[in-house]
Amino acid sequence: MRRVRRWLPGLLLVSPSIVAIAVFVYGLLGWNFKVAMSDRHDEISEGSFVGLENFTGIWDQERWGISVRHAIVFTVVFVGGALVLGWFLAFLMEKGIRGEGGFRAIYLFPMAISFIATGVVWRWLMNSGTGEQAVGLNSLFSHLGLDFLQWQWFRDPDWGMAAMAVPAIWQMSGYVMALFLAGFRGVPDELRESARVDGCGEWQVYRYIVLPMLRPVTLSALIILGHISLKVFDLIVAVSGKQIITDVPAVFMWTAVFDSHDPAKGATIAAYIVLSVAVFVIPYLVWNARKGNRS
């Protein structure tokens, strides 16, 4: 009894949050799956259970296939691009450089701004006009004599989504840089020094000492970028609105709810977004918790 009295106040203090998370996160996720497994295709009907019908049926819709393909292209380009650029910036700075604070501040500031605000200018910069009609970045390329770089950006029918990743990379690579920089700084100098004494060249030190120690940071960055990417919404809305040419699941869901007034369809898309994130976040959290317990 005395032991219970010891921890009970703590539990009471946290209980509002526990209830809130239980209801708003887990309860609503479950509710969403329930709607997704019903035939509630308008806002009036109650809807009855139809199993996984919506989950399989949605693949027959051309728009769903397009938006999934777009999400994949976007994710690959965005995650890859932000990871490489962020790593490269950190690599350039890792040994300390004059004005480091200033560089960091400039690479990181896009993080503090909303995609909606930056979308305004990126939509302008990524104007699709080429040649005589070139404006925005395309005209900058032509001024610099790099005409071959001109393309239609997000209006390109095949690889438009790769262009959509450009503002996202701009926004997030500073963050990745900060992560990697912390990772680089976490490698003890003695370790590098002893490898050099053992006759390793700089490249070998990097390859065999530094890179392996960056693995946990890389994993964190991958998880964070990946989960931002799979649910990307604001950026797409700000740059191109609801156009099919840049459709992604989150935008499709939005139109399913507000334009087609089809909760079951919206919930199905939402469920797919959750699942796509959960398949890699859950193992990551479990792995992290185990690691935490061991240490």
Choose which of 37, 163, 195, 271 interacts with another protein (CB under 8 A). 271
Q: Which is nearer to another protein, 161 or 253 (CB)?
A: 253
Nearest alpha-carbon partner for 225 in 286, 154, 175: 175
Residue 140 binds another protein (CB under 8 A): yes
CB 109 within 8 A of CB 91: no
H or E element that contains 20? helix 2-21
Residue 146 binds another protein (CB under 8 A): no
Q: Is 284 exposed, middle or buried (0-12, 13-18, 19+ CB in 10 A)?
A: middle
Choose which of 66, 72, 76, 135 interacts with another protein (CB under 8 A). 135
Choose which of 98, 145, 158, 189 interacts with another protein (CB under 8 A). 98
Range 185-204, binding another protein (CB under 8 A): none
Q: Which is nearer to another protein, 244 or 277 (CB)?
A: 277
Residue 52 binds another protein (CB under 8 A): no
Helix ranges (H only) for 148-214 are 160-185, 189-197, 202-205, 211-213
Q: Which is nearer to another protein, 158 or 232 (CB)?
A: 232
Choose which of 50, 66, 72, 277 interacts with another protein (CB under 8 A). 277
Quote the tokens at residue 56: 């399989």
Residue 287 binds another protein (CB under 8 A): no
Nearest alpha-carbon partner for 255 in 28, 66, 87, 95: 66
Choose which of 50, 72, 76, 125 interacts with another protein (CB under 8 A). 125
